[in-house]
Amino acid sequence: MTDDVFIQLSIFVNNEPGSLASMAKTLKECDINLKAFNIAESSGFGVFRAIVDDPEEAYEKLKARNLIVRKTELIAVAVNDAPGGLFSAAKVLGDAGINIEYGYAHKNKTEPLIFLRVDDPVAAVEAFKKAGMKTVTAKEL
């Protein structure tokens, strides 16, 4: 794994009133700082995907609190803040034969980013670099 591939936490939350607040309270109590997040829903539960300051430490703290949490590899790529930003990233990966499982966007202090879960993160980083696109490390967030 390279620095351009980093860890995202996926926290499973019941899909009912108050569950997100309860989980967010746990994040606060564990002193876990969110850099970006996405909430996806499914039948009966939600998945809270989070980019945090220290994913390994956060993972251990959340497991100790009996939350169901998983670690997944993620990449981030900078895109233009204009129509076609998503297209440029999706085309690079499509042309390289890399599948995008899911993604979400975030605008940091300097540029829009797209976080992507792909089937081959190392190859995706290489494809973006070859295309002249900037990938972002967790330290740069």
Q: Is residue 141 very low, low, confident or very high in pLDDT (cuts 50, 70, 90)? A: confident
Residue 120: give the domain boundaries. Answer: 74-140
Q: Within a domain: residue 4?
A: no
Contact at 8 Å (CB) between 39 and 65? no
Residues 62 and 79 in one domain: no
Q: Tell me the per-residue pLDDT of 52-71, one tens digit each, with 9 for 90 and over.
A: 989 999 999 999 999 999 99
Q: What are the E-state strand segments in 15-127?
A: 34-42, 45-52, 69-78, 100-107, 112-118
Q: What is the CATH number of the domain that holds 38?
A: 3.30.2130.10
Supply the DSSP symbol for 141.
-
Looking at residue 1, its pLDDT comes to 62
Q: Tell me the per-residue pLDDT of 98-129, one tens digit each, with 9 for 90 and over.
A: 999 999 998 877 889 999 999 999 999 999 99
> pTM of the predicted model, to two decimals?
0.88
Residues 51 and 24 in one domain: yes
